[in-house]
Amino acid sequence: MRTEKIAALRASLTRPKLEEISPRVPLGHPGADFYLKSGLQRGVLHEVFASNGHEAAATGFTAGLAARMASRKHLLWIRQDFSALEFGELSATGFLEFGIDPGRMLLLCVGDAADALRAANDALSCAALGAVVIEIPGKPKILDLMASRRLTLACAQKTVTAFLLRFGAQPDASTAETRWLVRAVASPPLEENWGYPVFEAGLVRNRHGRTGQWVMEWSCDDGLFKETDRGAVVSAPCDRPAATAREAAAI
């Protein structure tokens, strides 16, 4: 019995840490990747909050992050039934124009936040998925610190990355690795096409690095976030004062 305990202890001491078995995936934006220590960590929970009136931008930004993390695997998007009426449909054509193969996308519509979290925890145990997006509007009581912890633990089992996309809500206590505040930015005028989507993305929580804010352009051709001529880092997030940003990052 003692020999077995010693062997188990040795195995636990030599077991790779989460960062070692969950490599980081670069976003493509040099400034953000530098702050993220070479990229976004795989197999953990990340949060994306939409600024008021910028839900579509946060959806696009989250789709870009999730596509980067999923790589060649499938991406599952979980949302509630009423979300299409409130925030618009998720369009296969739109994803294709965004540079994401809709054949890799799976959409699951559920009745409420409890069903969304239940489905997400089940889905995160599927190694065939590269990423799971859980879209939850408002402030349901069931989405608390314990629910966040369950998602984080589920992510670690099969190294599947979860993105919690929040509309009409303020940041609260969670176990998320990163937290983003997102709003849209007008694309630069081009003569022949509409241009690429541009986001103002504030990294207000980063468990293993600094926080910052950038203007990022999503390249639909390359599937990468890139710098623009408006890509300078600023101290506060996109729509909140610096003091509030520090409070959000500390939660």
Arithmetic mean of pLDDT, 193-211: 89
Instruction: Name the more confident of 246 and 198.
Output: 198
Arithmetic mean of pLDDT, 101-105: 94
**Beta strand 161-167 pairing with 224-227:** unpaired
Q: Is 25 inside a domain boundary?
A: yes
Q: Where do the DSSP E strands lie in the chain? A: 24-25, 40-41, 45-50, 74-80, 105-110, 129-137, 161-167, 178-185, 198-206, 212-219, 224-227
How does residue 194 score in pLDDT terms, banded at 50, 70 and 90?
A: low
Q: Is 16 inside a domain boundary?
A: no
Q: Is 14 inside a domain boundary?
A: no
How does residue 19 score in pLDDT terms, banded at 50, 70 and 90?
A: very low
Give the containing element (helix H, strand E) for 8: helix 2-14
If one counts the domains in the chain, the total is 1
How does residue 15 score in pLDDT terms, banded at 50, 70 and 90?
A: very low
Arithmetic mean of pLDDT, 161-183: 96
Q: Is 15 inside a domain boundary?
A: no
Q: Average pLDDT over the chain, rounded to whole?
A: 84
SS (H, E, C) 23-39: CEECCCCHHHHHHCCCC
Residues 6 or more apart whose CB falls under 8 angstroms from that of 20 comprise: none
Arithmetic mean of pLDDT, 215-243: 69
Cβ atoms of 123 and 132 within 8 Å: the answer is yes
Domain of residue 30, residue span: 21-250
What pLDDT was estimated at residue 17? 44
CATH of the domain at 214: 3.40.50.300
Distances (CA, A) of 37 to 30, 40, 84, 145: 10, 8, 36, 26
Instruction: Name the more confident of 192 and 181.
Output: 181
Lowest mean pLDDT among 10-24, 64-78, 93-107, 193-207: 10-24
Lowest mean pLDDT among 123-132, 181-190, 206-215: 181-190
How does residue 251 score in pLDDT terms, banded at 50, 70 and 90?
A: low
Q: Is 143 inside a domain boundary?
A: yes
> Does the pLDDT value for residue 237 go beyond 80?
no
Residue 113 CA to residue 108 CA, distance in Å, equals 13
> Does the pLDDT value for residue 238 go beyond 50?
no
What pLDDT was estimated at residue 5? 46
> Does the pLDDT value for residue 162 go beyond 50?
yes
Q: Is 191 inside a domain boundary?
A: yes
The 10 Å Cβ neighbour count of residue 221 is 7
> Does the pLDDT value for residue 111 go beyond 70?
yes
> Does the pLDDT value for residue 192 go beyond 90?
no
> Does the pLDDT value for residue 7 go beyond 80?
no
Arithmetic mean of pLDDT, 212-224: 94
Q: Is 120 helix (H, G, I), strand (E, B) or coil?
A: helix
How does residue 186 score in pLDDT terms, banded at 50, 70 and 90?
A: confident
Arithmetic mean of pLDDT, 120-129: 96
Residues of the chain with pLDDT > 70: what percent?
Answer: 78
Q: Is 84 inside a domain boundary?
A: yes
Q: Is 11 inside a domain boundary?
A: no
